[in-house]
Amino acid sequence: MNSAEMTAKMASGNGFIAALDQSGGSTPKALAGYGIEAGAWTSEEEMFGLIHEMRSRIIRSAAFTGDKVIGAILFERTMDGSVDGKSVPQALLDKGVVPFIKIDKGLEDEADGVQLMKPMPTLDALLTRAVAKGIFGTKERSVIDAANPKGIAAVVDQQFEIGRQVLAHGLVPIIEPEVTISIPDKAAAEDILLAEIRKHLDEVPAGKQVMLKLTLPTKPNLYKPLIDDPRVMRVVALSGGYSRDDANAKLKQNVGMIASFSRALTEGLSAQQSDAEFDAALGSAIDSIFQASRVGGKVAA
């Protein structure tokens, strides 16, 4: 796929984005969910080798194709790795899947009810490498833990500042200000977040678009104004700790939103499964998330 074909697929393709970007802090939990406990590795390198094999198994599966999975988000190490002799981005492109890369370096300590992203002093170099490897876009995550207007404004300011840096390299940023699903004032936080995002969309350079990755909202269709905004290529949903069934049910209530699930995608997959069992479980997961992502919006159902 060339750049225009990837843009068309992300803007109007039926399907969802697979989040295959667990990093250092979340890798042990992801491996445990896959049936590999902490004692199975003795170094960070071995740990990342195991998670890379899990991701490779997903990518090479016959169930994982661009017919239903239109994009995939990679961890930096995964972008630099290979699957069956091909670079991971090329392996995805060969299957019709648009590659993205997670660029944030983790989160700062909480302040004003939020966690901002840590500094990224080498971001320009990473973005240059990503372009050379055929990457289409980026993903950068912050966390909102309270309906604190000051904190949420700071999160959105930082997200769009990084987004402009990404756009300057010709890549499309997925802006991800995650609202924690368990907080008591989640609905209020989402109202504040929506207002802040709408203000910042005016800063998107002419002719450019961003994507948004947002927690499934308490109020269905809260983010419809963002879905309909011409400066937004796509609004995708994170599962945020919901089970796959719960995440799919909530996604179906939000017209035009598509999934970008991580844990909800890999739920039920196991290192102990045969290839046939693995492919069947992954295929079932993909089918259910695909159907939940086909509810109206910018793309006809």
> Is 118 tagged catalytic?
no
Contacts 24+ apart (CB under 8 A), 247-253: 247/216, 247/292, 248/288, 248/289, 248/291, 248/292, 249/292, 250/216, 250/220, 251/216, 251/292, 251/293, 251/295, 252/292, 252/295, 253/220, 253/221
Residue 200 structure tokens: 């910042």
Pairing of β 258-261 and β 232-238: parallel
Residue 38 structure tokens: 């902490």
The residue type found at 12 is S
- What's the count of helices (H) and strands (E) in the chain, helices before strands? 12, 11
- Active-site hit among 140, 176, 178, 196: 176
> Is 213 tagged catalytic?
yes
Which has the closest alpha carbon to 97: 15, 25, 170, 191? 15
Residue 44, SS3?
helix
- Active-site hit among 68, 102, 139, 213: 213
Residue 81 structure tokens: 């790795």
Dist. CA 41–CA 243, nearest whole Å: 27
Dist. CA 165–CA 210, nearest whole Å: 12
**Residue keyed to tokens 């290529």:** 233
* Neighbouring residues of 98: CB distance < 8 A, sequence distance ≥ 6: 1, 6, 9, 10, 66, 70, 71, 72, 92, 136, 137
Residue 86, SS3?
strand
Q: Point out the residues that are catalytic.
A: 176, 213
